[in-house]
Amino acid sequence: MLVAIWAQDKNNLIGQNNKLPWHLPEDLRRFKELTQHNILVMGRKTYEGMGKKPLPNRQTIVLTRDVNYDPGDQDVLVMNSVEEVLNYAKKVEGEKVVYIVGGAQLYKEFEPYFDQLLRTIIHHSFAGDAYFPEFNYSVFQKVEAEMGIKNEKNPYDYEFETFIRKGKTSGKKTKKDLKELTEEEIEKVKDKILTALELVIDPELGIDIVNLGLIYEVKFESDGKTTIKMTLTTMGCPMADVLTDQIHEVLEELVEVHKVEVQLVWQPAWTTQRMSRYARIALGIR
């Protein structure tokens, strides 16, 4: 999974002199919490802005066109193209989340590939010289917005937002003649979706995703015709992302259903750090 993570002010500003234009410890804390034990990909300028010092407990990858680039740290990987990073992301798929952590050039170049966006908006104007690029948000769906804590050390109004890429398979489904769905058919669709969700989890672990609370609620509302609305409340973004793909794959096969709206709802302030130990093992999150 490829995730963009950044903080910006209300004018899309993200940097000043190769540094962050603000000091917002709560945002840094969240960044650390989310990215721990995962992969960070950054542009050469951002890396140098950090004094060529990789953050601990995360694999750092620096992107540069300089094939002889010396990152000054033997644990840092150097890559020379977007494709190289994408191939790496494919290799670690399911095990690690690959976070594109800036700067402006990288957010633009990886735009077509993001599965998820984690944006912190600071409702304030700062001075600076680097801006988040033009970006097509219409292919993403905002699924969470949570106000950050404001206090002496974090003296701004700011918000954590999560977007996920809209269903990749939607629109491809064959539309058969519409017909009313019976209660029985709705139950069948529910079963298919739940079975598919169970498959997301390693069956050998025997994890019961519903009872463990990985999924809070699966709610179907039928209009008695062809639409099923499904509300799924999960604990964390990584889980929800896997689930969205899985659900759409299943829905693709359900020709009897004309339209299924899948709405993912996350509990505010729930993060992977707060998942139960079993849930974390099941999802391969350390």
Cα–Cα dist 103/120, whole Å: 14
Look at phi and psi of residue 83 and say left if phi exceeds 0, alpha if psi is from -120 to 50, else beta: alpha
Q: Which stretch binds ligand NAP (CB under 6 A): 12-20, 150-158, 174-182, 262-270?
A: 12-20
The CB-of-169 to ligand NAP minimum distance in angstroms stands at 28
Residue number, 64 or 233, with CB nearest to ligand NAP: 64
Single out the residue of 3, 5, 29, 7 nearest to residue 159, CA to CA. 7
> What single DSSP character describes residue 263?
E
Token pair belonging to 64:
């540069």
How far CA 151 is from CA of 92, 121, 157, 242, in Å, comes to 38, 16, 10, 35
Using rule CB under 6 A, residue 63 touches ligand NAP: yes
Q: Which stretch binds ligand NAP (CB under 6 A): 11-19, 140-148, 204-212, 216-224?
A: 11-19
Cα–Cα dist 226/186, whole Å: 10
Using rule CB under 6 A, residue 148 touches ligand NAP: no
The mark string for 102-141 relative to ligand NAP (x by CB under 6 A, - otherwise) is: xxxxx--x--------------------x-----------
- Count the site residues for ligand NAP by CB under 6 A: 28
Residue number, 54 or 103, with CB nearest to ligand NAP: 103
Instruction: Give the chain's length.
Output: 286
Residues interacting with ligand NAP, by CB under 6 A? 6-7, 14-15, 18-20, 42-46, 49, 63-66, 80-82, 101-106, 109, 130
